[in-house]
Amino acid sequence: MPGTPPTRFVYLGPEGTFSEQALRTVPAAEHGTRTPARSVPEALDAVRSGEADAALVPLENSIGGAVGVTLDELAEGEPLVITREVILPVDFVLGARPGTTLASVRSVAAHPQASTQCRQWLRTYLPDAVVVDVLSNGAAATGAATGEYDAAICAPIGATRHRLAVLADKLGDHPDAVTRFALVSRPGPPPPPTGDDVTTLAVYIAHDRVGALLSVLMELAVRGVNLTRIESRPTGEALGRYVFVLDCTGHVADVRLGEALQGLRRVCADVRFLGSYPRHRWATSAAGDRPVPAPVGLSDSDYADAAAWLARLRRGE
């Protein structure tokens, strides 16, 4: 989609889930079409085939960890790139038909991950209620709205869409839980650097080389590139064969990250570029939300100065 803003969006459905809520924080999505998909592969295939311009899919949760199917699709499927990340607080609510009281709730619909993250709240406030597993947060809200269940643990958008009364909010046992989503499109020029960016890569190491993973980490470390996440995923070739999906600070246009990518290309069996994009910024930025500065001698200006110095030496100046 180089130069053309996306207008057709697809997201991991169904409607009324955190995925839809996250997508609606993307300004362009509010003015475009938003279509739910039944699975992450289906959402990404819609982009690959040209049926959609971009897909919003979950990457990781601060409690449950990485979303393996998303990482596998990005690392192994037909190439796609991340153009934006969205980090959404996981704020579960208990929704029920208007007039329902907490004391009258005997059955609660919930996705298994939702009920797991709200286990302590359920034990404290609804110890006698039966928790029924459903396929999604959206399905839970639908079940409560139709009266199949007394209440639902769902996303706020699900309660709003189905006109449920919110009997309680902030149900999660981990109040700071968040889910990180990726907005994915077909390959094209990355967004311009902002000075606070993330680059995601899929790295295939040479398995017959001793210290292959260490050499990957060194290519980043010696250039002051901060590695913020690394996940191993099986390639499907054989036991012990993995692809490493990693996030690091910086943009492909940055000098030091560019040199690191060249180094990875030399020492790895393969490297797949999965995008450079702005890092999510909270409305109120805490100290831990600021980017880690480059060590002395490893900033882009340091690299530019060293390159200019070498050019003068080669010219005999």
- Res 236 pLDDT > 90: no
211 shares its domain with 79: no
Phi and psi angles of residue 97, each rounded to the nearest 5 degrees, phi first: -60, 145
Q: Residue 142 and residue 191: Cα distance in Å, rounded?
A: 38
Q: Residue 284 and residue 282: Cα distance in Å, rounded?
A: 5
Q: Are 106 and 131 contacting, i.e. CB atoms less than 8 angstroms apart?
A: no
Reported confidence tier of residue 255, pLDDT bands at 50, 70, 90: confident
Domain boundary among 140, 169, 198: 169
What pLDDT is stored for residue 293 in this prediction?
66
* Model pTM above 0.85: no
- Res 173 pLDDT > 60: yes
What pLDDT is stored for residue 311 in this prediction?
85
52 shares its domain with 181: yes
Which range among 248-257, 283-292, 303-312 shows the weakest confidence by mean pLDDT?
Answer: 283-292
Percentage of the chain surpassing pLDDT 70? 93
What pLDDT is stored for residue 290 in this prediction?
61
Q: Which residue has the higher pLDDT, 299 or 125?
A: 125
68 shares its domain with 143: no
Percentage of the chain surpassing pLDDT 90? 56
* 242-249/227-234 β-pairing: antiparallel
42 shares its domain with 75: yes
CB atoms within 10 A of CB 55: 31
Reported confidence tier of residue 291, pLDDT bands at 50, 70, 90: low
- Res 4 pLDDT > 80: no
79 shares its domain with 213: no
65 shares its domain with 164: no
What pLDDT is stored for residue 105 in this prediction?
95
Could you tell me the sign of the dihedral formed by the alpha carbons of 149, 150, 156, 160, in that order? positive
The three-state (H, E, C) secondary structure of the chain, written as one string: CCCCCCCEEEEECCCCCHHHHHHCCCHHHHHCEEEEECCHHHHHHHHHCCCCCEEEEEEEECCCEECHHHHHHHHHCCCCEEEEEEEEECCCEEEECCCCCHHHCCEEEECHHHHHHCHHHHHHHCCCCEEEECCCHHHHHHHHHHCCCCEEEECHHHHHHCCCEEEEECCCCCCCCEEEEEEEECCCCCCCCCCCEEEEEEEECCCCCCCHHHHHHHHHHCCCCCEEEEEEEECCCCCCCEEEEEEEECCCCCHHHHHHHHHHHHHCCEEEEEEEEECCCCCCCCHHHCCCCCCCCCCHHHHHHHHHHHHHHHHCC
Tokens describing residue 28: 């362009």
CATH code for position 266: 3.30.70.260
Query: Mean pLDDT in the chain?
Result: 88
Q: Are 85 and 22 contacting, i.e. CB atoms less than 8 angstroms apart?
A: no
CATH code for position 1: 3.40.190.10
Reported confidence tier of residue 292, pLDDT bands at 50, 70, 90: low
What pLDDT is stored for residue 1 in this prediction?
43
Q: Count of domains in the chain? A: 3
Domain span at residue 37 reads: 1-90+177-188
Question: How does pLDDT run across 116-152, given as a tens digit for each residue?
Answer: 889 999 999 999 999 999 988 889 999 999 999 999 9
80 shares its domain with 224: no
Domain boundary among 169, 204, 226: 169
242 shares its domain with 290: yes
Tokens describing residue 264: 């990875």
Reported confidence tier of residue 269, pLDDT bands at 50, 70, 90: confident
Phi and psi angles of residue 222, each rounded to the nearest 5 degrees, phi first: -70, -15
Nearest Cα residue to 294 out of 240, 257, 269, 246: 257
Question: How does pLDDT run across 9-37, given as a tens digit for each residue?
Answer: 999 888 888 899 999 999 999 888 999 99
254 shares its domain with 225: yes
Q: Residue 288 and residue 215: Cα distance in Å, rounded?
A: 28
Q: Are 200 and 275 contacting, i.e. CB atoms less than 8 angstroms apart?
A: yes
Tokens describing residue 42: 């289906």
6 shares its domain with 75: yes
Mean pLDDT score, 254-269: 90
Domain boundary among 104, 136, 169: 169
What pLDDT is stored for residue 10 in this prediction?
95
Q: Residue 105 and residue 177: Cα distance in Å, rounded?
A: 26
Which range among 80-84, 131-135, 312-316 shows the weakest confidence by mean pLDDT?
Answer: 312-316
Q: Residue 58 and residue 68: Cα distance in Å, rounded?
A: 10
Reported confidence tier of residue 61, pLDDT bands at 50, 70, 90: confident
